Amino acid sequence: MRTASWIAASLFFLGAFVQLNDPDPILWIALYLGATALAVGAALGHLWLWPSLLATLIYIGVAMPLLPSLFAAKASAFTSIGMSSLRDEEAREALGLLLCAAFSAVLALNAPRDQRRRRRRRHHRKNGLILPAAAAFLLGQLGGCASLQTVQPQTTTATAALPITIPLGPEIDLRPHTIVASGLANPRGMLAREDGSLLVALAGTGDPEAPGSGALIELTPPRDGRRSVRPLLTGQTSTNLVSLVRRDEVFGLASIARGGGTTLVALALFGGPSKILAVDGDKTKPWATVHGNINDMSWDSKRRRWYGVSASHDEILVLAERARSRRLTKLPPLEQGQDAVPGYLEYDPVTDRLLVSLFTGSPLGEEGGSGIDMVIGSGKIVAVDPDSGRISDVVTGLTAPTDLAIGPDGQLYVLEISRDFVGPVASRKELLSRVTHGGFRRFSGRLLRIDRTRGKVTVLADDLDAPTNLAWDGKGLLIAQGMGTPERRIPHPDGSTTPLDGSITRLDP
């Protein structure tokens, strides 16, 4: 038994050591060090019944949510060192926890016999520092596991009763706006720099004959009212999902976010994996590869870690440099059974929560139905606890919310890409052969300002053409719009047609 315990202690300690590059290492190191302490105690002749039983229950409890990934895992999940998917990592974690549980259970079963043997010998050794150390590790496990379930105290200001429901007739206060740039191929994430320049992620044209049309560009500071375009990264993958979802949707470079002294840009591919790059001046370098479609990222200044939304898997993930992502929470379906597709997120220091926009999906699945089977008014903004993953509604009654931003005054700004879904198309050929909305009603997007103190909702911009992203630039709120196939003819509200144009507008909120 002692030889086996020394071997187990070595393996469990190795398991704790390799967790150093995990995005959430404290919990996993505590779990494996707890098993190491029990194994070392057994190797030295100390078998403890209740600590072993408690450890067994803890390991089984933590492993339970991961068991579906273990049962569905392929052999490659355990034979390959690399990470092919998040579910492979969950399968490995589940197996490790079950091994810890099995070893702890064996110690618990042998503990009574060991105690009887020691009583017969009347040989009572002092536990010294071993028992307190094991107890400390087990308490650490309990604290780590409890953090997965306990909602931390919120640091909030006074807010209106939540959730806030968008009224059918909100107040209208349209704000003046100016065009910052136009003629862009699907502008997405934007980031204002201190020198007045603007980084813009272009998802590209989505043309299968030009798959590398995505780019990261810099719009230089304005001179004589004009900005010049300077490419920083070109040749990035760009795809149109029209043949899959029957809507004119282009995927490619997406979010740009800054935090902790780092600027990141995500190349979000439908189904993944997504690539995340770090921007350093005029250059980029690989930062992480993440399973799923990482459409947006946000930095948590309190916990000093990154989060991302996986729109293709309805998940909120914890991201880390050169390390695998970790699932924070899986979003449940919306009230009428359709996918709760997370589009964008923003860490809110006022409430210490992640605010996430949920785009209404189709009850028939992402690739099911006609492509416009969305449930009007079922989209929402939810708050996610960064520690427990617990979800609560903040704003309801939205249809297709995309990006959201928190103003300097704490008010919430929310984009809606469209208020209706019309004109689905089955192919790119059909999309280009006639004038059509292409799934999203063109020029029906809007920007809402939501006063979370009074629950007041105000429309600041209306008749936007498929807006996707927001960003503050020190002068106002930037809006990226014109998602879809550039230059194709689309219906205009005045009854005419116009070429689809990707543009950036600055609005004074």
DSSP state of 273: -
3-state DSSP assignment of residue 15? helix
Please indicate, yes or no, whether the overall pTM of this predicted structure exceeds 0.85: no
| Least confident stretch, 115-129, 266-280, 283-297, 453-467 | 115-129
**Contact between residue 342 and residue 334 where contact means Cβ atoms under 8 Å apart:** no
Q: What tens digit of pLDDT does each residue of 335-376 get? A: 888 888 899 999 999 999 999 999 877 777 666 677 787 888
Which whole number is the average pLDDT over 288-306? 94
For residues 355 and 360, what is the distance between their CA atoms, to the nearest angstrom?
Answer: 16
* Separation CA 109–CA 49 (nearest Å): 8
In this predicted model, which residue has the larger pLDDT, 19 or 132? 19
Amino acid at 389: G
Residue 268's pLDDT is what? 92
Selection from 389, 379, 273, 290 nearest residue 330 by Cα: 389
Contact 399, 419 (CB under 8 A): yes
User: What's the one-letter identity of residue 309?
Assistant: V
**What is the side-by-side order of every strand in the sheet holding 477-481?**
177-184, 502-507, 477-481, 469-472
Q: Which of 131-140, 316-325, 446-455, 466-475 has the lowest mean pLDDT?
A: 131-140
Distance CA 478, CA 472 (A): 6
155: enclosing H helix or E strand = none
* Tens-place pLDDT, residues 483-493: 999 999 999 99
Q: What is the pLDDT of residues 151-191, one digit of tens each?
A: 333 444 445 667 999 998 899 999 999 999 999 999 999 99
What confidence score (pLDDT) does residue 124 get?
41
In DSSP terms, which residues pair with 207 in a beta bridge? none
- Give phi and psi for 256, each to the nearest 5: -125, 130
Q: What pLDDT, on a 0 to 100 scale, did the predictor assign at position 421?
A: 92
Sign of CA dihedral 502, 360, 310, 259: positive
Q: How far is CA 298 from CA 175, 266, 407, 457, 463, in A?
A: 27, 11, 15, 25, 28
pLDDT at 155: 41
Q: Which domains does the chain have, with CATH numbers?
A: 2-149 (no CATH), 164-507 (2.120.10.30)
Q: What confidence tens digit (pLDDT) does each residue in 241-271 have? A: 999 899 999 999 999 999 999 999 999 988 7
- Region 33-44: what's the mean pLDDT? 86
Task: Provide the 10 A C-beta neighbour count for residue 446.
Answer: 20
Distance CA 17, CA 332 (A): 34
* 22-31, 197-206, 298-307: least confidently modelled range: 22-31
DSSP 8-state class, residue 196 = S
The reported pLDDT for the residue numbered 238 is 96
Residue 278: pLDDT band (50, 70, 90) is: very high
What whole-number percentage of the chain has pLDDT above 70?
Answer: 85
Spell out a b/e string for 40-61, using b for 16 or more CB atoms within 10 Å of the CB, else e.
Answer: bbbbbebbbeebbbbbbebbbe
Nearest-angstrom CA–CA distance, 375 and 323:
37
CA–CA distance, 238 with 205 (Å, rounded to integer): 7
Q: Which residues pair with 236 in a beta bridge?
A: 214
User: Is 499 strand, coil or helix?
Assistant: strand
Residue-wise pLDDT tens digits, 78-137: 665 544 455 666 777 888 888 888 988 888 888 777 666 665 554 444 444 444 444 444
Mean pLDDT of 272-285: 92
- pLDDT at 140 (0 to 100): 43
Confirm if 248 and 502 have CB atoms less than 8 A apart: no
Cβ-based neighbours of 396, under 8 Å, separated by 6 or more: 163, 164, 165, 166, 380
Q: Say whether 354 sits in a helix, a strand or coil.
A: strand
Q: What is the pLDDT of residue 361?
A: 72
- Higher-scoring residue by pLDDT: 151, 442: 442
pLDDT for the residue numbered 118: 61
pLDDT at 475 over 90: no
Least confident of 66-70, 352-356, 399-403: 66-70
Count the Cβ atoms, other than its own, within 10 Å of residue 508.
Answer: 11
